Amino acid sequence: EKKRTLNFGAGPAKLPQSVLLQAQKELLDYSGIGISVLEMSHRSSDFNKIINKTESLLRELLNIPDNYKVLFLQGGGSGQFSAVPLNLIGLKEDRCADYIVTGTWSAKAAKEAEKYGKVRVVHPKMDSYTKIPEPSSWTLNPSASYVYYCCNETVHGVEYHFTPETNGAVLVSDMSSNFLSRPVDVSKVRRGLLRSLRDGAAYSSLNLCAGVVQFGLIFAGAQKNVGCAGVTVVIVREDLIGHALKECPIVLDYKVQVEMNSLYNTPPCFSIYIMSLVLEWIKNNGGSAAMETLNKQKSSIIYDIINASNGFYVCPVDSACRSRMNVPFRVGKKEGDEALEKKFLEGASKRGMISLKGHRSVLLKYNPSDV
Ligand code: PMP
C-alpha cells in the first residue's frame, strides 16, 4: 500500500485504496469496452449492469426486504431534507410531521420541512446538542405523517445506538454519516406482531398497526461511508410511494424514480460505479457486522484517550450516544484552549493527519428558534 495522508474528514472521506486503484485501472477502459464509466451512456447495458449490481449489493449487505425500493438520487442529503416532506408529508390529511432534533442536520431538515407542512419538535428544549432527549419525554403526534430523526449527527457527534420507537408511525432516518457502519434491521418486526402473524392475521392490515415496521425510509449521501459525492441512496417502503405533493420536483418524486429505476434523468453514473466498488470492498471485508466491529475499535481508541486524559481532551457528548463515526473533542478545556488546539493541529499536520479541525458549532447552545 502506498503511504497516504491520514484523512479524518467526515465526508467526503477516505476511500479504500483498492477502490481507488481499481477506478484508476478502469478509467480509460471499463471492462474491455474501450471507454470510461465517465463517458458511458446511462441507458447502455453496461451502465445498467453497474446500477443493478450496486442495488443488489446494497440489498445483500443490509438485508433489505423486497417491499422496499432502492433509489440512487442526486441533490445530496440536503435534497432529501426537501424530498422527504415533499413525498411523505401528504401521507395524512393533516400534513404534519414529528422531528427529533439532536444537532445541526436534523435542525436543517426540520426547517426545510416547514415549507411543506406543520413541523413539531417532539421533545423539550435542550441546552446543547450533546445528548438524545429521553425517549419517554417525546410526545409523538398520532396524526403525524412521519417521525424523522438523524441517526448520526455528523457535526455534534451524537449517534443513536437504538432505533426510535414510534408506535407504528412511519419512521424516517437520515443515515448519511453512519450508513453501513453497522447492521440495520430495515424492517424490524416486533416479536408480538410476529406471533400475531403466525396466528394468521393478515399482513396488509397489520402493516398499518402499531409497531409493525420500523423504517419507512432511510437515506444517506454516499460521500461519507459508501463512495464519493454525487449520489444519495434512498431506501423507501413501497406503500409510502405515490403520495408526493403536486409541487414536488419530478427528479425528487420517488414514484417517478422507482418507475424509471433511478434513471428519470441522467444519474451520477461515476458516483454509482464508485459506490459499487466500495460495497464490494465492504462485502469482501466481512459486511456490515465487520464494519461495526472495526468502527467500535477505531472510535474506542480515541474515546479511551479522551477519557484517560484527565480533562486535557474533552468530548462534550453524553457517553450513551457518542458517535462511532465522528468524535468531537476540544483540547485544553471544555470550551477549548485556542493556542493549544492550534498546536495540536500543527502537530497532527506534521504527522500527515488532516481534517482534524472540528466544527465551531459543536459547543454552541441549542436554539429552538432555529428549527
Ligand atoms: N445529513 C447528515 C447527517 C450530514 O452529515 C450531511 C452532510 N455533512 C448532510 C445530511 C447533508 O448532505 P449533503 O452535503 O450531501 O447535502
pLDDT, tens only, 231-240: 999 999 999 9
The pLDDT of 279-290, averaged and rounded, is 98
For the annotated catalytic residues, the residue numbers are 105, 174, 224
pLDDT value at 221 more than 60: yes
pLDDT at 371: 30
Q: Which atom of ligand 1 is nearest to the CA of 153?
A: 3
Q: Assess: ipTM above 0.95.
A: yes
Taking only the tens place, the pLDDT of each residue in 60-70 is 999 999 999 99
pLDDT value at 192 more than 60: no
> Are 62 and 220 in contact, with CB atoms under 8 Å apart?
no
End-to-end CA distance of the chain: 46
The pLDDT of 210-221, averaged and rounded, is 78
pLDDT value at 370 more than 80: no
| 45 CA from centroid of ligand 1 (Å) | 32
User: Cell numbers of 77, please?
Assistant: 442529503
Residue nearest (by alpha carbon) to ligand 1 atom 2: 176
The pLDDT of 340-366, averaged and rounded, is 80
C-alpha angle 123/80/354, rounded to 5°? 90
Regarding predicted confidence, which is higher, 369 or 253?
A: 253
pLDDT at 173: 98
**CB under 6 Å to ligand 1: residues?**
11, 76-78, 105, 150, 154, 174, 176-177, 221
**C-alpha 149: how far from chain center:** 10
User: pLDDT-based confidence at 168, cuts 50/70/90?
Assistant: confident
Residue nearest (by alpha carbon) to ligand 1 atom 7: 77
Sequence-distant (≥ 6) Cβ neighbours of residue 225 within 8 angstroms:
11, 13, 177, 178, 179, 180, 181, 278, 325
User: How far apart, in Å, are the Cα atoms of 321 and each of 105, 112, 316, 340, 367?
Assistant: 16, 25, 11, 27, 20
pLDDT at 125: 82
Q: Which atom of ligand 1 is nearest to the CA of 150?
A: 3
pLDDT value at 130 more than 80: yes
| 78 CA from centroid of ligand 1 (Å) | 6
The residues pairing with 152 across neighbouring beta strands, listed in sequence order, are 159
pLDDT at 336: 77
pLDDT value at 337 more than 80: yes
Which amino acid type is present at position 159? E
User: Cell numbers of 213, please?
Assistant: 415496521
SS3 353: strand
98-112, 114-128, 192-206, 288-302 — which is least confidently predicted? Answer: 192-206
The pLDDT of 275-295, averaged and rounded, is 98
- What count of other Cβ atoms lies within 10 Å of the Cβ of residue 93? 8
| 100 CA from centroid of ligand 1 (Å) | 16
Find the radius of gyration of the CA atoms of the chain.
Answer: 21
Of 336, 297, 295, nearest in space to 314 by CA? 336
185 phi-psi bin (left φ>0, alpha ψ -120 to 50, beta other): beta
The pLDDT of 319-324, averaged and rounded, is 98
From 72, 73, 74, 78, give the residue whose CB has the most ligand 1 atoms within 8 Å, as the site to mutate: 78
User: pLDDT-based confidence at 189, cuts 50/70/90?
Assistant: low
| 39 CA from centroid of ligand 1 (Å) | 28
Sequence-distant (≥ 6) Cβ neighbours of residue 300 within 8 angstroms:
none
The pLDDT of 288-305, averaged and rounded, is 97
Strand 232-237 and strand 353-354: pairing? Answer: unpaired
| 229 CA from centroid of ligand 1 (Å) | 10
pLDDT at 358: 78
pLDDT at 363: 44
d(CA 237, CA 44) in angstroms, rounded, equals 28
Residue nearest (by alpha carbon) to ligand 1 atom 15: 76
> In the chain, how long is the greatest CA-to-CA distance?
67
**Mean pLDDT, all residues of the chain:** 90
